Structures are given as structure tokens and as C-alpha cells.
Copies of this chain bind each other. A is one copy, B any other.
Amino acid sequence: MKLFSYFRSSAAWRVRIALAYKGIPHGTVPVHLVRDGGQQHSESYRELNPQGLVPVLEDDGQAFAQSLAIIEYLEETHPEPPLLPPDFAGRARVRQMALGIACDIHPLQNLRVLDYLRGPLAQGDGPVADWVRHWIAEGFRPLEELARRHGDGRTHLYGGSVTMADVCLAPQMYNARRWHLDLKPYSALVAIDAHLMTLPAFSTTRPEAQADAE
């Protein structure tokens, strides 16, 4: 397997965590999202992923995009250790939390979206930072509530082991800090993230530990 990744992309980090957690051997190809006008826009990369976004996982001659599609693929091809609970209701709940981050927080603070806010919508740094913090907070508020309902509020978002939801949480917390979001209202999320970052699958895959980190 080969992962096309950018050190700071939180979607790529999700896949790095899943690969590490499952102990799946793979190579990593860095794709620089800013240098050369964005290497993800090159013809050869668009061949792998017409969306021109990271990550992409290449396996068995096929290239797959969308981090959660890739993680579901890894879960099906390498079931152990699992990133989803065994029961239907638990799986739905974990996916709900993961999608709450992957659909409703992350895409709104993506590089291309911020470029559009600064460009065609002529927004300055202040309003752009407010926008990012607003949408992270909008997503963290319900996630904090769900973490208290369905997890222990201290170590994992759901149940007592790492799930797809935790895999999405850690990179989003990293992003929240980069944007100086006040994390005081989210004490469960802060505690869970602190626990996750003690696990090698999370700590060894963090942006600063990547070969392409700057």
C-alpha cells in the first residue's frame, strides 16, 4: 500500500492513524499542498484523485480517495484491531461522530475554502479566523455532549477502545489549537485527545513527526 499524504492535512492524518493502529505496512508519498502552486493539482495526481485532495491510498493497482472511505476499506480488509464496535447501533453511533467532524467541521476550514473566503469573498484574516473557530465550535458542542453520553468522557469518544470517531477527533483538536479556539467548554474532548496522543498510533503519525514536516 502507498499513502499520498501531506503532513498538515487532518484528513491524511486520519488515515495515517488507521494504518498505524492496524499495523499495516505501507509507503508514504508526500504531496505538498502549497509548493509548486499545489502538487495536488498536477495531472498525475488528478489521475489518482480527480478531486485533487489528499489523502489517496493506492492498493492493488487502485487509488482510493476520501479518508473515511479509505478507513472503511482498511476496516474491511484488515479487521483487527477493529475501529468500529461489533453491534449495529454502536457502529452507527461511531460513524455519526466521525461524520460530524468529517462532513460538518473539516470541509469548512479546508485550505481551498479559506482561499475562497480570502479571494472572491474578500475577507481578511480576522473574519476568516472567526469563521474557522465558529464551525469548529458548532461541531465540538454536540460532540462533547455525545462523548459524555456514549463514552467515558476521559479516554475515548465511544466505549472503551479506539474507534473511527477518535481517529477523526485528534486531528481536529490539533486544528482547533492551530486556530486558537478556546477549548475550555470541551473538557471531555480535551481529556480524550490527551489520552489518544499517548498512543503510538496517534503520536507517531502527528504532523510534526512526518518526513515532510516543515
Contact = CB atoms under 8 A, between A and B. Distances in A.
Contact of A107 (B69, B76, B77, B108): B108
Given A100-B66, A107-B103, A120 B130 contact: yes
Chain A binding surface SS class: helix
Interface residues of A, number: 50
A62 B91 contact: no
Interface stretch (A141-149, A151-159, A174-182, A191-199): A141-149
Interface of A: 49-53, 60, 62, 64-66, 68-70, 72-73, 76-77, 88-89, 91-93, 95-96, 98-100, 102-104, 106-108, 112-113, 116-117, 120-121, 123, 127, 130-131, 134, 138-139, 141-142, 145-146
List the number of copies, as a whole number: 2
Contact of A131 (B51, B121, B142): B121
